[in-house]
């Protein structure tokens, strides 16, 4: 640069000055210069160049490539609400080089979650994140039609008989946890001092203990040691927003993920081989491996050991953060709302209290007769659905229905092939046009006959009626309510709808009831904020709950 300057028209004074500027300073100046030019060009492109009338409006952003990554990443829900105000129900934002079109409201959810897999593909959107963690040949590393069959196999294992067996196991694990975990044993069970526990940390531990005791099987439960925890943590470290945005980076966390995946796959395959050889003296009639053993694909082929092992890993990961985030948010709300806590305790006493003190075990069939327990979980999932963004990749140009958004009365938007589309269960669930006081945690809105249920309750009514009377579809894993237009979709909708919902209710219901029977909770610091920097929305630390043992427990 300086030699060019010297040989041309630079005045002598500038030439002299340049000689004294170190090379690094010129490089830094050049670097920032390029950035400024890129920002200016990007802004001009958005403000001055004519827009393609068939493309949905693009969210204004300064930095090319980075786009709106920071606003979206820090608080996606606020970002969506703000964009909706400015651009309407359908808009595109730039997320680290990807174009992501958000479609909000029931019609937006219907277009994305109800879309055909050859038009909007979950596999193409997620496989780079999930396959290195779950392993090959399952979930998003196989054709959609194979995934639908795999979901059917898992649903077969998630049956009423198994749920009946799980209830007592979960209660047992929860009670054991409360009598052995250092956070709970620090306060002697006979004194009534207040202790504290980190809600998310404790619920994460309890979730893996209960899931392994039930779904994952006795061998997994008996091997929940340091090695398993390390492998799990390394796998989990490969399941982050960074991995979603950058499929492969030369970072130690990516290498640890790959090593842990191989070890975890071997671990499950060893269990399968050992069972086949008659090894293991465990009772495993009710676990998922036993269910997978009985299944065959439509062409008559049995699942391979690798497929079984990788389905088990997928289930472990799919249920862990979703359930632990939900149980910690639920406990936090209960601790923060003494009236609901007391009513919940009384519901337990009424149904299960024994004359001499103590409680009888809650059975699977009892769950449907506990409206408040059901409502606190539902309401928590409304306000804190663990997955705020459900994504698909657009495989063919996707016309946006005119009734959802259109540039003019005669035209319509088309989302081009190669874009991503995004549906957000969180936005519909917090929409003031659908829910009364949406930011208030009010489980009674779900309970017909209660004061909160009277009046404007369209959200809960619509959600309930959709579950009970809505259209039912079989995508290949049994009849499910389509639910793509429901304002309440914490478990998603359409062909990729969660199959773990009933298990989650068994697990969450049993954990919450067992804890409420034994403990009084309070939350001196108030509700924590959302942490959106993880794959699943978890409470930001500090999220400690104070507890003391009930005098009657």
Interacting stretch for ligand HEM, rule CB under 6 A, among 40-48, 393-401, 499-507, 513-521? 499-507
* Region 477-496 residues binding ligand HEM, contact defined as CB under 6 A: 490-492, 496
Total residues binding ligand HEM (CB under 6 A): 22
Are 280 and 274 within 8 A, CB to CB?
Answer: yes
Other CB atoms within 10 Å distance of the CB of residue 292? 21
> Is residue 390 within the footprint of ligand HEM (CB under 6 A)?
yes
Counting contacts by CB under 6 A, is residue 112 touching ligand HEM?
A: no
Q: Which residues, listed in sequence order, are joined to residue 353 by a DSSP beta bridge?
A: 359
CA torsion sign for 153, 158, 160, 162 is positive
Using CB under 6 A, which of 306, 318, 453, 527 touches ligand HEM?
318
Query: Residue 124, interface with ligand HEM (CB under 6 A)?
Result: no
Cβ-based nearer residue to ligand HEM, 128 or 548: 128
Least distance in angstroms from the C-beta of 149 to ligand HEM: 11
- Residue 105: partners with Cβ closer than 8 Å, 6 or more residues away: 89, 404, 427, 428, 431
- Choice from 162, 323, 328, 510 touching ligand HEM (CB under 6 A): 323
| Minimum CB distance to ligand HEM, residue 341 (Å) | 21
Query: Shortest approach of ligand HEM to residue 157 CB, angstroms?
Result: 9
Question: Which of these ranges, 51-59, 164-172, 176-184, 316-324, lies near ligand HEM under the rule CB under 6 A?
Answer: 316-324
Site for ligand HEM in 148-187 (CB under 6 A): 151
Min CB(108)–ligand HEM separation in Å = 14
Q: Rounded to whole angstroms, how far apart are CA atoms 274 and 294?
A: 17
**Residue position matching structure tokens 């081009």:** 416
Q: Measured between alpha carbons, how far is 409 from 405 in angstroms, rounded to an integer?
A: 10
**What is the 8-class DSSP label of residue 523?**
-
End-to-end CA distance of the chain, in Å?
Answer: 80
- Which residues make Cβ contacts (< 8 Å) with residue 538, sequence separation at least 6? 200, 321, 324, 325, 328, 530, 531
Buried b (16+ CB within 10 A) or exposed e, 110-140: bbbbbbebebbbbbbbbbebbbbbbbebbbb
Q: Which residue number, 163 or 359, has a Cβ lying nearer to ligand HEM?
A: 163
- Given candidates 292, 303, 309, 315, which one binds ligand HEM under the rule CB under 6 A? 315
Kindly tell me which residue out of 109, 210, 265, 326 binds ligand HEM, with binding defined by CB under 6 A.
Answer: 326
Residue 93 β-bridge partners: 100
Three-state DSSP state, 161: helix
d(CA 29, CA 17): 15
In the complex, minimum distance from the CB of residue 215 to ligand HEM, in angstroms, rounded to a whole number? 6
Sole binder of ligand HEM in the list 102, 103, 122, 376 (CB under 6 A): 122
Residue (267 or 477) nearer to ligand HEM, CB: 477
Closest CB to ligand HEM among residues 499, 513: 499
Binding site for ligand HEM (CB under 6 A): 122, 147, 151, 215, 315, 318-319, 322-323, 326, 386-387, 390, 490-492, 496, 498-500, 503-504
């Amino acid at each position: 640069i300086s030699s060019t300057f010297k040989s041309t028209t630079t005045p002598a004074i500038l030439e002299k000055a340049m000689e004294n500027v170190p090379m690094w300073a010129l490089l830094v100046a050049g670097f920032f210069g390029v950035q400024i030019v890129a920002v200016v060009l990007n802004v001009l492109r958005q403000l001055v160049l004519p827009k393609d009338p068939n493309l949905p409006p693009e969210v204004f952003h300064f930095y090319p490539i980075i786009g709106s990554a920071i606003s979206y990443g820090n608080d996606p829900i606020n970002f969506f609400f703000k964009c909706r105000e400015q651009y309407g129900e359908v808009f595109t934002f730039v997320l680290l080089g990807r174009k992501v079109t958000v479609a909000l409201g029931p019609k937006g959810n219907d277009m994305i979650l109800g879309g055909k897999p050859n038009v909007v593909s979950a596999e193409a959107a997620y496989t780079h994140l999930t396959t290195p963690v779950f392993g090959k040949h399952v979930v998003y590393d196989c054709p959609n039609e194979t995934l639908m069959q795999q979901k059917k196999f898992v649903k077969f294992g998630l049956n009423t008989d198994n749920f009946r067996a799980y209830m007592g196991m979960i209660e047992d694990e929860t009670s054991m946890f409360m009598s052995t975990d250092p956070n709970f044993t620090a306060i002697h069970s006979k004194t009534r001092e207040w202790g504290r526990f980190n809600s998310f940390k404790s619920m994460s531990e309890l979730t893996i203990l209960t899931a392994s005791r039930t779904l994952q099987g006795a061998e997994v439960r008996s091997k929940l040691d340091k090695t398993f925890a390390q492998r799990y943590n390394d796998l989990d470290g490969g399941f982050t927003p960074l991995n979603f945005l950058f499929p492969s980076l030369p970072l130690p966390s990516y290498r640890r993920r790959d090593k842990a995946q191989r070890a975890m796959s071997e671990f499950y395959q060893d269990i399968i081989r050992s069972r086949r050889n008659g090894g293991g003296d465990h009772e495993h009639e009710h676990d998922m491996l036993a269910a997978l053993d009985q299944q065959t694909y439509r062409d008559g082929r049995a699942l391979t050991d690798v497929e079984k092992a990788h389905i088990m890993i997928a289930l472990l990961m799919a249920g862990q953060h979703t359930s632990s985030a939900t149980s910690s948010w639920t406990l936090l709300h209960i601790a923060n709302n003494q009236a609901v806590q007391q009513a919940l305790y009384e519901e337990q006493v009424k149904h299960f209290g024994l004359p001499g003190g103590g409680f009888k075990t809650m059975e699977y069939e009892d769950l449907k007769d506990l409206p408040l327990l059901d409502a606190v979980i539902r309401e928590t999932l409304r306000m804190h659905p663990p997955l705020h963004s459900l994504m698909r990749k657009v495989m063919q140009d996707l016309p946006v229905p005119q009734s959802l958004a259109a540039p003019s009365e005669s035209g319509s938007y088309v989302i081009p092939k190669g874009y991503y589309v995004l549906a957000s269960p969180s936005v519909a669930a917090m929409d003031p046009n659908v829910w009364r006081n949406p930011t208030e945690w009010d489980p009674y809105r779900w309970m017909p006959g209660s004061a909160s249920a009277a009046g404007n309750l369209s959200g809960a009514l619509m959600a309930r009626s959709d579950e009970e009377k809505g259209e039912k579809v079989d995508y290949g894993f049994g009849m499910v309510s389509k639910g793509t237009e429901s304002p309440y979709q914490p478990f998603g909708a359409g062909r990729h709808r969660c199959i773990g919902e009933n298990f989650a209710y068994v697990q969450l219901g049993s954990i919450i009831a067992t804890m409420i029977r034994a403990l009084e909770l309070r939350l001196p610091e108030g509700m924590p904020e959302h942490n959106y920097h993880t794959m699943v929305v978890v409470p930001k630390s500090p999220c400690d709950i104070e507890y003391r043992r009930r005098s009657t427990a």
